[in-house]
């Protein structure tokens, strides 16, 4: 075991499970910051022993120490710390396949060891942002358990606090999440869903992208087209969002929306490749609202798409990307109630 830190007072404790000194050396710039404290373990047995004795916020896990992505080690370490934010370090240059392999595990990120300076450090720092968000939600839940009668006030305060955090991380999210929230609720209205589901759709839409807090700014704010590896990191945001909310009582109903809004009806989406009815119903609704807003919003790399093109995309992807019955409902809304769509677009123009 080795501890390396420049300060005796640290806010964030990181366990590094790696027997290569180069990895530790690459983290030296972070270890010079007083808010980080690193402890190293040369193998998973030592890591389990350490985790049983003290709390860590994050673990950097060498993939060789977790051969074949054995979930047993992850499950065992989470017996001591279910909130632990885990980043997998890999020598494999095929990062997309690595990220695909870990989606079945409760791991929040992945980084090639050859890119530790440029990639790992931003990933660690954005991961710490996600951890801070999780701690904020824990505090919200604690306040609720102490005073259930004030749930509505706590809920509204929590929504505003989380909104500010997410929007500060990704400027695009502001108008986008507002619109996805309202489009989702609109679809729910024409499905005659109960008020409870409409509320879940509304709040779920607002925070469907909360996991982007754990994505480095260099990726989120990039002004050019993302590389394949960068896009794979973006694709991890639903899993990060679900982890942030995993222990929340107040926001437990929106976790399926956060985690599964990028699943495709044919099973080719992410992060879990769920298909058909295995995808939670409200997440299937949010997926349509999310895709519609993405297509009708101006992006750095393209203008917004004409509504005729958007309709054709939904028709083309009916039954593959999107739930066929929900697609029909939404196309009917676009044909007969587009004034309500326009009202939402005009109300939340920014984004």
What residues act catalytically?
212
Q: Kindly report the length of the chain.
A: 351
Task: Find out whether 68 and 102 touch, Cβ atoms under 8 Å.
Answer: no
The whole-angstrom separation of Cα 111 and Cα 88 is 6
Return the structure tokens found at 304.
Answer: 């917004």
Tell me the H-state helices in the chain: 21-26, 28-31, 44-53, 71-80, 95-102, 121-146, 151-169, 173-190, 195-206, 217-220, 228-234, 237-245, 255-260, 281-296, 307-316, 324-336, 338-347
How many Å apart are CA 159 and CA 90, to the nearest integer? 36
* Calpha distance 336→103 (Å, rounded): 40
Cα separation, 308 vs 327, whole angstroms: 15
Whole-number Å distance between alpha carbons of 79 and 344: 45
CB 324 within 8 A of CB 265: yes
Q: Is 201:185 a contact under the CB 8 Å cutoff?
A: yes
Quick count: other Cβ atoms within 10 Å of Cβ 229?
A: 19
Question: What dihedral do alpha carbons 244, 246, 252, 256 form, nearest 10°?
Answer: 90
């Amino acid at each position: 075991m080795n501890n390396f830190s420049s300060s005796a007072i640290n806010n964030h404790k990181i366990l590094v499970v790696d027997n290569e000194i180069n990895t530790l050396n690459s983290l030296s710039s972070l270890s010079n910051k007083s808010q980080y404290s690193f402890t190293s373990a040369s193998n998973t047995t030592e890591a389990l022993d350490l985790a049983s004795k003290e709390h860590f916020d994050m673990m950097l896990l060498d993939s060789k120490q977790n051969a074949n992505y054995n979930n047993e080690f992850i499950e065992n370490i989470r017996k001591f710390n279910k909130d632990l934010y885990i980043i997998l370090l890999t020598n494999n240059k095929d990062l997309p396949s690595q990220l695909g392999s870990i989606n079945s595990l409760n791991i929040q990120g992945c980084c090639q060891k050859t890119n530790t300076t440029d990639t790992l450090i931003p990933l660690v720092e954005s991961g710490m942002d996600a951890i801070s968000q999780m701690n904020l939600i824990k505090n919200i839940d604690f306040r609720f358990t102490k005073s259930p009668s004030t749930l509505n006030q706590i809920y509204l305060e929590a929504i505003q606090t989380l909104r500010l955090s997410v929007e500060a991380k990704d400027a695009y999210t502001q108008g986008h999440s507002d619109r996805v929230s309202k489009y989702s609720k609109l679809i729910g209205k024409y499905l005659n869903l109960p008020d409870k589901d409409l509320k879940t759709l509304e709040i779920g839409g607002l925070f469907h992208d909360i996991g982007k807090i754990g994505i480095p700014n260099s990726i989120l704010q990039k002004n050019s087209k993302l590389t394949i590896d960068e896009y794979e990191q973006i694709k991890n945001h639903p899993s990060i969002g679900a982890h942030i909310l995993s222990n929340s009582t107040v926001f437990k109903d929106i976790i399926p929306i956060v985690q599964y809004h990028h699943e495709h009806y044919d099973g080719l989406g992410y992060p879990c490749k769920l298909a058909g009815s295995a995808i939670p119903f409200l997440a299937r609704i949010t997926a349509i609202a999310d895709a519609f807003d993405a297509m009708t919003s101006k992006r750095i790399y393209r203008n917004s798409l004409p509504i005729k093109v958007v309709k054709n995309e939904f028709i083309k992807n009916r039954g593959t990307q999107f739930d066929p019955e929900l697609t029909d409902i939404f196309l009917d809304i676009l044909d007969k109630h587009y004034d309500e769509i326009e009202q939402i677009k005009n109300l939340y123009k920014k984004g």
